[in-house]
């Protein structure tokens, strides 16, 4: 009798159905959402799919008793500002949650100032506070390299790094850390911090968006705010993107969002000045090419 | 003897995993968790020392277990308890409180009697350990 | 409205003679109760041939301003205001001869902060009224304005827990048995063993006062020796409900003062001492940092039968106003009366800040408790450790579970019986918090806990087949689809 039961148990976990797990865990949904909602980023998407498959297979192997140790999940995202690192981190948190690698799946996004204190004894509690908030989810540290300031020997960043490394190692089941920043600075950071290098298993590069991709992003953003482009304003936007890219402080999608926010301001001003009688929804949602072309970028100035 | 204050003192001591489960139940109810320690387990010692602030914003119990282990590193020879506070109107007090660490030896309490008028007796309870100064009561 | 029910003009209304109550203004079908009205719901069984509306109007009349004949002195008063108004009469869903009558009372009819005055009106005269076969007070809506004139529970659930340093689980108690005959010294032994074994409280029974076999001072002295010994043995705060019920208020105060002097955290009274005495003791308890336990001795004489008397839910409401901290409110699974839904209604009255209308649990009115403290319900009578999952499921966390026989009757002794109950309780709360389906898995959880606790294993073995499964005499009458407008 006891043997029978045991046999059944063994049998139940001697096979796994990966395709079924893929669907039922909701991983499939997230990946297709990633595909549909994010424009461009093909190499990133590929890397994430690979990682997801690996983790799914790992879970399956764990079920069959083929692996015992939990995999290292800490990641680094390198790329220029506005290339979708935070957005992808949110999806990753959800993905890891569905796969059963983190319990809650929330994202806590911080920078150096949230971790490092101003005086002796300030840093450790600050860093621990942040780590505790992130437990059960993903801690996203933007511009992680600023934690490390070799030029200042009194810098408290080193203390934060030590606590961070300790928790990344000892509490692997409790949180996943994503370090993010510019590619070249991240590379240098990992070179001078072997502790991080050995604890971060997945490096993902975020390429800049092409002009066409940015235009597509602009259209999605505008539609998301219930505004509309017309032929003229689309053309203006395309020209804006070309000009803006050549200027300093270009931040990919973030620059586009800022440009649209300014265009909305100008549009509001225009609508207000030109409206004497009643106006309709159409008029209120239309972004005209003048709303974009008034930007300083077109006269050789700089939009930050 | 075994001090049996707290919700679960009659059960075998909890593992960290069991503590995690109970703490997660509290967090999911919207309660704030606090870690407190003492070397004076008198039943009416209301104010144990606080290990930091109560934790209001930690969605996962791992954060509290992490702090508990930090506290154990320093005060592992004392009583440590986890307390859950419920701020909802009409309660605004503790919902759960359980001991998660205790000294290796618990000498217990001395009961003193003072005879006063009639056959009336005044009782007082003193932890044997409190004969020593604070901080050197348990090894 | 039939012609005969119409309001009369002043001349017709006040002509000398006898008039139907409904014509005297005690039936007002268009009346919509004010927020400040006291509302009572009566179950009326009229004598054969008596019109239910006239019966309801008569109840309204007899419980407020009316007498059997017209009196001209009514016209010296704002009679319209002081008349109670029956405004709704419904046939009961299950009994064709019984009716629910809703009656609204003007707030000025009642003295602030006096249960005696409230009850003298509502249940004073009217229950012996001849045209009715039977009459039962089912429920009351007490307006916030009136609730605020009462002290409410002296301590309340939250502060009681803070004082006892006991959170997150039901409290455990036991009534000392045998209820009569033990000497003070032997009595204290039971208290010590039970408290040392793991209970929070022990309890005097309702009829333990001061008798030849044990006078009250002896009991108090030995009990407090036991309580303090048990505290020192466990590091916990312990208590024993010292029953201060006596023949006069003076004597009760004297006994309560002695309990306080000895350092007891709790004293006890019986319901039979009367509403005014209860309010006085509640005030004393508030003034002296004392928890006040009420044993509902005698209530079944008027609460149990469905057609006549006062529902216990009304008694529970009065007691929350009067200010006791503990009240026996049923066990569902034990030996005493208790339909699960009805009992839930009682528990909600004790513990909630606001009771919404809930016909299935017998609550006919929306009741706001205006931040009055909460009462701790006590479950006592024929319960044992093997029912722990059901007890927690039905009764929740803020309750005193009293295992009298289930502690003292343990084969290994009283302390072992107490330990069995405490381990069963903690194991069940632990399982519930850990997300287990503890009601379904209850027996497994208990069996698991019993592996490391011999006393629990023995308790489960000896009482495993004990249940009290009888039809309830007081289940709520409602049709699930009925909506209350």
Could you read off the pLDDT of C103-116 as tens digits, one per residue?
999 999 999 999 99
- Counting as contact any 3 or more CB pairs under 8 A, the partners of A are B
Task: Clarify whether C389 is annotated catalytic.
Answer: no
Confidence of residue A1 (pLDDT cuts 50, 70, 90): very low
Report yes or no: C233 at the B interface, CB cutoff 8 Å: yes
For the stretch A276-286, pLDDT in tens is 777 788 888 88
Q: In the predicted model, is pLDDT for residue C194 greater than 80?
A: yes
* Inter-chain CB proximity A125 and B58 less than 8 Å: no
How much is the pLDDT for C68? 74
Is the pLDDT confidence value at C8 over 80?
Answer: no
Distance (Å, whole) CA C386 – CA C442: 9
Query: Is B10 within 8 Å of C231 when comparing Cβ atoms?
Result: no
Determine which one of C7, C133, C177, C283 is catalytic: C177
C484 pLDDT more than 60: no
Least confident of A242-246, C10-14, C47-51: C10-14
The average pLDDT across C225-249 equals: 97
Most confident range (mean pLDDT) of A146-160, B62-76, C66-80 is: B62-76
Outline where DSSP puts E strands in A146-250.
176-181, 202-206, 228-229
Question: Residue A22 — pLDDT band, cuts 50, 70, 90?
Answer: confident
Q: Mean pLDDT throughout B37-42?
A: 94
Quick one: average pLDDT of B8-12? Answer: 96
> How far apart are the CA of C138 and the nearest CA of chain B, in angstroms?
27
Question: Which residues in chain A have Cβ-Cβ distances shorter than 8 Å to B27?
Answer: none
Do residues C137 and C302 lie in contact, with contact meaning Cβ atoms separated by under 8 Å? no
pLDDT class of A5 with cuts at 50, 70, 90: very low
Residue percentage of chain C with pLDDT more than 70: 94
CB spacing of C198 vs B10 below 8 angstroms: yes
Q: Which chains touch B (3 or more CB pairs under 8 A)?
A: A, C
pLDDT number for residue A9: 47
Q: B34-43, C20-29, C231-240, C309-318: which range is least confident on average?
A: C20-29
Q: Per-residue pLDDT averaged across C139-151, rounded?
A: 98
Interface residues on B facing C, Cβ-Cβ cutoff 8 A: 1, 3-5, 7-12, 18, 21-22, 25, 41-44, 46, 84, 89-98, 108-111, 119-123, 125
For residue B57, the chain A residues in CB contact (below 8 A) are 133
Q: Which residues of A touch B (CB under 8 A)?
A: 103-104, 106, 125, 128, 131-133, 135-137, 167, 171, 173-175
Mean pLDDT of the C346-356 span: 96
Inter-chain residue contact C426 with B89, CB threshold 8 Å: no
Is the pLDDT score of C413 beyond 70?
yes
Q: How confident is the prediction for chain B on average, in pLDDT?
A: 94
Contacts by C116-122, CB closer than 8 A, 24 or more apart: C116/C274, C116/C275, C116/C276, C116/C279, C118/C38, C118/C318, C119/C275, C119/C318, C121/C63, C121/C64, C122/C38, C122/C40, C122/C63
> For the residues C75-81, what does the mean pLDDT come to?
86
The 10s digit of each residue's pLDDT in A54-99 is 888 888 888 888 876 778 889 999 999 888 899 899 998 998 998 8
Could you tell me which residues come within 8 angstroms of residue C359 by beta carbon, excluding any fewer than 6 positions away?
C476, C478, C482, C484
DSSP code at position C375: P
| Catalytically annotated residue among C238, C295, C384, C393 | C295
Chain C positions touching B93 (Cβ under 8 A) are 158, 161-162
Return the higher-pLDDT residue of A102 and A61: A102
pLDDT at A8: 47
Kindly indicate the confidence band of residue C14, based on its pLDDT and cuts at 50, 70 and 90. Answer: confident
Which pLDDT does position C483 carry in this prediction? 38
Mean pLDDT of chain C: 91
% residues pLDDT > 90 (chain C): 76
Is C177 among the catalytic positions?
A: yes
C234/B25 Cβ within 8 A: no
The percentage of residues in chain A with a pLDDT greater than 90, rounded to a whole number, is 29
pLDDT of residue B44: 95
Between residues A3 and C56, which one has the greater pLDDT? C56
Q: Is B5 in Cβ contact with C228 (below 8 Å)?
A: no
Nearest Cα of chain C lies from the Cα of B43 at a distance, in angstroms, of 5
Task: Give the best residue of C155, C220, C235 to mutate against chain B (max B CB count within 10 A).
Answer: C235
Asked whether the beta carbons of residue B60 and residue A104 sit closer than 8 angstroms, the reply is: yes
Which H or E element spans position C461?
A: helix C454-463
pTM over 0.95: no
Whether pLDDT at A169 is above 80 = yes
pLDDT at A173 over 90: no
Quick one: closest CA in C to B125, which residue? Answer: C232
Name the pLDDT band for C58 (thresholds 50, 70, 90): very high
Check residue C468 and give its pLDDT: 64
Spell out which residues of chain B touch residue A125, defining contact as CB-CB under 8 Å: 52
| pLDDT > 60? residue C150 | yes
Q: Do C262 and B1 touch (CB under 8 A)?
A: no
Please answer yes or no on whether B18 and C434 come within 8 Å at the CB atom. yes
Q: Which residues of B touch C171 (CB under 8 A)?
A: none
Report whether pLDDT(C423) > 50: yes
Q: CA dist C200 to A39, A267, B116, C22, C171, Å?
A: 65, 72, 27, 55, 6
- Nearest residue of chain B to residue C449 (CA atoms): B11
Q: Average pLDDT of B40-48? A: 95
Distance (Å, whole) CA A179 – CA A202:
10
A48, two tokens: 């994430």
Q: What are A233-251's pLDDT values in tens digits?
A: 889 988 899 888 888 888 8
**Beta-sheet pairing, C376-380 with C400-402:** parallel
Chain B's closest residue to A134, CA to CA, is B58
Q: Provide mean pLDDT across the span C17-45.
A: 91
Q: C101 near C129, Cβ under 8 Å?
A: no
| pLDDT tens by residue, A211-222 | 998 999 989 888
Between B and C, how many CB-CB pairs are < 8 A?
106
pLDDT the model gives residue C108: 95
Q: Is the pLDDT of residue A13 over 70?
A: no
The CA–CA distances, whole Å, from A158 to A116, A122, A154, A193, A195 equal 9, 13, 9, 10, 12
pLDDT of residue C449 exceeding 90: yes
Q: Which two tokens stand for residue C278?
A: 């209860």
CA nearest to B88 within chain C: C353
The chain C residue lying nearest B19, using CA atoms, is C434
**Distances from the Cα of B78 to the Cα of B3, B63, B73, B105, C475, angstroms:** 12, 21, 11, 10, 53
Query: For testing the chain B interface, which of C166, C433, C446 should be mutated: the one with the most B CBs within 10 Å?
Result: C433
3 state DSSP class of C268:
strand
For residue B51, pLDDT over 90 is answered with yes
Mean pLDDT score, C16-39:
89
How far apart CA C410 and CA A297 sit, in angstroms, is 89
Instruction: Decide if B62 and A131 are in contact by the 8 Å CB cutoff.
Output: no
Tens digits of per-residue pLDDT, B72-85?
999 999 999 999 99
Instruction: Name the percent of chain B lying above pLDDT 70.
Output: 100
Q: How far apart are CA A45 and CA A204, in angstroms?
A: 10
């Amino acid at each position: 009798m006891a043997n029978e039961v045991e046999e059944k148990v063994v049998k139940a976990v001697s096979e796994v159905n990966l395709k079924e797990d893929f669907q039922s865990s909701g991983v499939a949904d997230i990946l297709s959402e990633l595909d549909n909602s994010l424009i461009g980023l093909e190499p990133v998407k590929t890397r994430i799919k690979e990682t997801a498959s690996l983790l799914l297979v790992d879970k399956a192997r764990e079920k069959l008793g083929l692996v015992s140790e939990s995999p290292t999940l800490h990641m680094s995202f390198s790329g220029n500002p506005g290339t979708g690192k935070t957005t992808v981190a949110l999806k990753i948190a959800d993905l890891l949650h569905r796969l059963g690698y983190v319990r809650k799946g929330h994202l806590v996004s911080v920078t150096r100032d949230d971790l490092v204190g101003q005086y002796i004894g300030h840093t450790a509690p600050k860093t621990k506070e942040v780590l505790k908030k992130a437990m059960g989810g993903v801690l996203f540290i933007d511009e992680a390299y600023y934690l490390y300031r070799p030029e200042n020997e009194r810098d408290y960043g080193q203390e934060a790094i030590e606590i961070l490394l300790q928790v990344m190692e000892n509490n692997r089941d409790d949180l996943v850390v994503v370090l993010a920043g510019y590619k070249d600075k991240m590379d240098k950071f990992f070179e001078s911090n072997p502790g991080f290098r050995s604890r971060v298993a997945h490096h993902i590069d975020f390429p800049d968006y092409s002009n066409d991709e940015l235009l597509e992003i602009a259209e999605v953003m505008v539609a998301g705010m219930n505004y509309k482009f017309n032929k003229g304003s689309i053309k203006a936007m395309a020209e804006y993107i070309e000009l803006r890219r050549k200027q300093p402080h270009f931040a990919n999608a973030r620059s586009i969002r800022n440009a649209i926010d300014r265009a909305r301001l100008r549009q509001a001003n225009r609508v207000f000045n030109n409206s004497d009688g009643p106006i309709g929804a159409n008029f209120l949602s239309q972004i005209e090419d003048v709303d974009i072309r008034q930007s300083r970028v077109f006269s050789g100035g700089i939009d930050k | 003897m075994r001090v049996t204050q707290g919700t679960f003192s009659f059960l075998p001591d909890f593992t960290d995993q069991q503590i995690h489960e109970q703490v997660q139940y509290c967090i999911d109810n919207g309660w704030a968790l606090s870690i407190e320690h003492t070397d004076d387990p008198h039943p009416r010692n209301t104010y144990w020392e606080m290990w930091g602030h109560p934790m209001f914003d930690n969605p996962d119990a791992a954060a509290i277990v992490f702090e508990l282990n930090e506290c154990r590193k320093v005060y592992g020879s004392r009583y440590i308890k986890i307390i859950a506070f419920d701020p909802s109107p009409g309660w605004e007090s503790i919902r759960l409180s359980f001991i998660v660490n205790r000294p290796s030896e618990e000498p217990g309490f001395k009961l003193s009697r003072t005879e006063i008028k009639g056959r009336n007796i005044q009782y007082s309870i003193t932890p044997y350990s409190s004969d020593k100064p604070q901080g050197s009561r348990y090894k | 409205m039939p012609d005969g029910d119409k309001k009369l003009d002043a001349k017709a209304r006040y002509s000398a003679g006898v008039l139907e109550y409904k014509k005297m203004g005690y039936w007002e079908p268009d009346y919509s109760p004010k927020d400040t009205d006291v509302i009572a719901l009566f179950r009326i069984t009229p004598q054969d041939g008596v019109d239910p509306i006239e019966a309801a109007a008569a109840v309204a009349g007899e419980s407020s301003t009316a007498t059997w004949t017209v009196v001209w002195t009514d016209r010296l008063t704002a009679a319209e205001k002081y008349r109670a108004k029956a405004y709704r009469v419904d046939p009961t869903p299950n009994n064709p001869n019984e009716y629910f009558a809703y009656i609204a009372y003007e707030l000025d009819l009642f003295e602030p902060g006096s249960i005696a005055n409230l009850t003298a009106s509502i249940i004073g005269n009217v229950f012996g009224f001849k045209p009715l076969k039977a009459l039962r007070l089912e429920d009351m809506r007490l307006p916030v304005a009136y609730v605020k004139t009462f002290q409410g529970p002296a301590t309340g659930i939250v502060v009681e827990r803070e004082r006892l340093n006991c959170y997150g689980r039901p409290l455990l108690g036991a009534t000392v048995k045998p209820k009569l005959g033990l000497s003070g010294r032997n009595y204290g032994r039971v208290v010590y063993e039970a408290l040392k074994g793991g209970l929070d409280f022990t309890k005097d029974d309702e009829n333990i006062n001061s008798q030849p076999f044990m006078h009250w001072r002896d009991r108090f002295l030995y009990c407090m020796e036991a309580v303090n010994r048990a505290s020192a043995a466990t590091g916990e705060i312990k208590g024993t409900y010292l029953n201060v019920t006596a023949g006069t208020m003076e004597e009760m105060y004297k006994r309560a003062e002695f309990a306080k002097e000895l350092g007891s955290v709790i004293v006890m009274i019986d319901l039979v001492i009367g509403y005014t005495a209860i309010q006085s003791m509640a005030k004393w308890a508030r003034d002296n940092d004392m928890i006040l336990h009420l044993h509902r001795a005698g209530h079944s004489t008027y609460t149990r039968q469905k057609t006549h008397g006062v529902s216990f839910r009304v008694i529970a409401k009065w007691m929350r106003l009067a200010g006791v901290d503990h009240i026996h409110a049923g066990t569902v699974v034990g030996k005493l009366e208790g339909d699960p839904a009805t009992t839930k209604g009682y528990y909600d009255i004790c513990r909630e800040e606001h009771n919404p209308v809930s016909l299935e649990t017998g609550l006919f009115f929306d009741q706001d408790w205006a931040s009055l403290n909460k009462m701790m319900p006590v479950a006592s009578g024929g319960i044992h450790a093997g029912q722990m999952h059901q007890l927690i499921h039905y009764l929740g966390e803020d309750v005193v579970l009293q295992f009298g026989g289930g502690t003292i009757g343990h084969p290994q002794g009283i302390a072992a019986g107490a330990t069995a109950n405490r381990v069963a309780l903690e194991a069940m709360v632990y399982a519930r918090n850990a997300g287990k389906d503890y009601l379904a898995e209850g027996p497994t959880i208990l069996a698991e806990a019993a592996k490391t606790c011999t006393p629990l294993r023995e308790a489960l073995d000896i009482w495993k087949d004990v249940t009290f499964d009888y039809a309830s005499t007081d289940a709520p009458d409602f049709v699930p689809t009925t909506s209350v407008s």
